[in-house]
A and B are shown apart, each in its own frame.
Chain A
Amino acid sequence: MQMTQKKIGAGQFFSILLLCRLLVNLTFNSNDSSLSSCDKIISDILTVAFIFVMSIPVFIYMKKGWDFSDCIRSISPKLNKAVCFFYSLYFIILASITVTRFQLFTTSTLVSEGNVTNVLYIALLVLSALYGAYLGFQAIGRAAFIFAIVVISAIFFLFLTSAKNFDFVNITPFFYNGTKNILQNAVKNAASTTEIAMLTMFHSRVSGNKVKGQAITILIFLILELLLSVPSCLVLGDLAPKLFFPEYVLATMASLDMLKSLDAFINACWVLAATIKTAFMIILSHFCIGNVFKIKKNLPWLVGIALVVFSISLVFSKYISTFILIIGSFNFIIASFVFSVAIPLIVLIVHALKERKNKKEGLL
């Protein structure tokens, strides 16, 4: 397996990113209860706008055809190793957060019997993700492309089946509690966008038009976000901000003639997305480590990363309230911005200046 030398198609790669982003929306509600479900729609639109702005450095990398790691290496090879090491840790933490969020959702909303199930859910997800990672990013990409179609169809289906429960009396006036909490929520949501860091690190392994791919992904994400938040507002109304997983509650209420309990179908989609995201995080972490150490065999490293993810997830799940506080904290938001925007932007500027200087020296 030579995962670092192969390339992945843009369609498949952006399917992975879309699934990763959707999973955050489906399995975690970062809203504070003062944000009405109608204001959440505005907040969601703002989130997408922020994501677009945050993507500007990576758009430049992709447009210029610069590899992030090569750019750092051109500045300093040691710095490249250090940055890649920290990115590797970052992706391990993100994978653990994904697993813990999923475990939190399954054990708090679906079943809650016995501590064994917590460990079992984490172990099963990490094991499936490890298998996916072992098959390589191309296999993950192919699976993600199909899963993305299934998940997008499920969200459309959820919207259509919820439509009969729409009640316009549920609407709360926009900006009822001011604009501050809308902005705060949008910033929090945008900060949970880890896909920009993933794209920054991995875009040179993607073939096809990546700029267009990212723009389309953001657009599709906006549409799907609205397809989830509009029913949430019109069906759940003032109850939505008080629920931990409003989309799940929406799915439990949705039905179409004989088809009932659509939550099972939606849950299946979430399992697929969680597996893909965790697998890809393990691959990315391994990919970054490949820039730090010389890797002869991939499997031991992948198993090692998976074990670390498993261990961190277990710790997170044991101290779940602390975990929720950490991922909602200001420091975590800052960390996300550092890895997604600040480091790529600084590297970009320094590299561009260096290129300019080299060109000038070449001309002289």
Chain B
Amino acid sequence: MKKIFSVFLSLVIVMLCFCGCSKSIGKTDLNRRKIIVAIGIDVEGDIYKLTVRSYDPTMKLADSADSGGESKTIIYHIEGETIAKAISNIMLQTGDEPAYVQNNIIIIGKEVAQRGIDKVIDFFVREKRTRYSTMIALSNDKASDIIECDFMGNSMPQKELEELINSGALSGEVEKMNILLVAKYMSEPTTDVVLPMLEAFSDGENKNVRIAGTGIFKECKLVGHFDIDETRGMLIFSDKFNSGSISLDVDGVKITANIKKTSSKIKTEIKDGRVIFEVKTDVKCEIDEIERNFNMAVDEGEVEKIKKEVAEKIYASIKGAFDKSTVEYQSDALRLGKRLQFQNKEFFRNHYEDFSSVLSNAKLDLRVNVELNKIDAKGMIN
């Protein structure tokens, strides 16, 4: 009896495995799905206009040697009154059901961002088939310009977009954002979202995309942006800076310094009802290049000048980011509220509802300490 029961149960389980993607358990066949790999969101009037890059497993590139046999992606333009409606409208155009599990990136158009990204994010957080790790970026104009860019005929342009942001994050030019981070920032009492900003440009006949800074939001609406220097300041302030180069001009000599590591310690203090953020930033860097007649030697005087120049540059980056977010936009893009909440919880509790005025009166007390490592291979200064 036990054996018969075991065999029967095994058969049931095996049979259930075979049904796979068939319609038998209420699912759509794989070949009847549009596998979405990138979504661009724009708006015109009250209508959302989506540019969707979809992966088509049935279409193969003719020159497979060039693409490694990768399947080609297709662009669809769809629209609807809401994001959900627009995406489901892809069925009307293609007859196929949309699948978002493979979606790599969401690009939000400037106008959508100015109206408020909360409405856009809500769909992706609620939609169970969206991965929380899906990247989100901003276009400095239309999202369609970014999605439509084919990166000189690349068969997987969405991967290029992903890599652009990944390498930007590695070189300290941008903060990598995904659905989870955006949802987390939005759930914090005062924090405002920041998103990497991309820009489409023409390179001769080819269209290409580059990083244009970081979009600053205030209550989910795009209000301005950090340039690349300010973005670096934001990342160093937030202790999220990986590495990156900065160009210096020391007594007319061009020097490139490579920042290897930074660490920022932030203390908050309340003086006369004003919040003071005391920041101590330690920077470790090394020299990549000195543009002068070949001479490896760097004397102590030059070292001090380089360190001073690096410190000034980083000071300016952080101060620029701080002033822009707090004074200019009263946006908590640097998550100052969270730091204040942890260190001065009573003050935060009494003021978080009017945090804009706290930000506009906030003061930055910044000290940058630079350490220069390995000036040359022969160990002249270490």
A and B from one assembly?
yes
Residues of chain A touching chain B, judged by Cβ–Cβ distance below 8 Å, are 108-117, 120, 124, 127-128, 131, 134-135, 169-173, 176, 236-239, 242, 249, 252-253, 299
Closest to A299 in B: B1
Bin the interface of chain B by size. Answer: 20 to 34
Nearest 7 A-B pairs (CB), nearest first?
A114-B26, A239-B184, A173-B345, A239-B187, A238-B187, A238-B188, A116-B26
CB–CB B183/A173 < 8 A: no
Bound-state CA distance A124–B12 (Å) is 9
A127-B12, A135-B2 given; name 15 further pairs at CB < 8 Å.
Answer: A112-B128, A113-B27, A114-B25, A128-B9, A134-B5, A169-B238, A169-B335, A176-B345, A237-B187, A238-B187, A238-B189, A239-B184, A242-B187, A249-B180, A253-B133
A-B contact pairs, 27 of them (CB 8 A): A108-B128, A110-B128, A111-B128, A113-B26, A113-B28, A116-B26, A117-B26, A120-B25, A127-B12, A131-B6, A169-B335, A173-B342, A173-B345, A176-B341, A236-B180, A237-B184, A237-B187, A238-B187, A238-B188, A238-B189, A239-B183, A239-B184, A239-B187, A252-B133, A253-B132, A253-B133, A299-B1
Verify if B339 is at the interface (C-beta below 8 Å from A): yes
- Mask for B1-44, Cβ within 8 A of A = 1, else 0? 11001100100100010000000011110000000000000000
Residues on B lying within 8 angstroms of A by beta carbon are: 1-2, 5-6, 9, 12, 16, 25-28, 128, 131-133, 180, 183-184, 187-189, 238, 335, 338-339, 341-342, 345, 349
Interface contact tally, CB-CB below 8 A: 66
Shortest C-beta distance, B316 to chain A (Å), equals 24
Tell me the smallest distance from the CB of A173 to a CB of chain B, in Å.
Answer: 4
Q: For the complex, give the distance between the alpha carbons of A237 and B342 in Å.
A: 13
Task: Decide: A169 near B338, CB < 8 A? Known: A113-B26, A238-B188.
Answer: yes
Assess the A252–B128 pair: CB atoms within 8 A: no
Q: What CA separation (Å) do A237 and B185 show in the bound complex?
A: 9
Chain A residues with Cβ below 8 Å from B9 are: 127-128, 131
Taking CB atoms, residues of chain A closer than 8 Å to B132 are 249, 252-253
Contact of A172 among B16, B26, B128, B342 (CB under 8 A): B342
Complex contacts, B342 vs chain A, CB 8 Å: 169, 171-173
Q: List A contacts of B187 (CB < 8 A).
A: 237-239, 242
A171-B342, A238-B188 known; A252+B25 contact, CB < 8 A: no
How far is B338's CA from A310's CA once the two chains are assembled, in angstroms? 47
Across the interface, do B128 and A134 meet the contact criterion of CB distance under 8 Å?
no
In the bound complex, residues from chain B placing their C-beta under 8 Å from that of A171 are: 342
Our pick among B25, B133, B341 for the contact of A116 (Cβ within 8 Å) is B25
Known A238-B188, A242-B187, A249-B180: A117·B128 in contact at CB below 8 Å: no
A348 to chain B, nearest CB (A): 39
Distance, CA A141 to CA B9, complexed state (A): 20
Residues of B with C-beta under 8 A to A249? 132, 180
**Nearest CB on B from A33, distance (A):** 9
Give, as a whole number of angstroms, the nearest-CB distance from A106 to chain B: 11
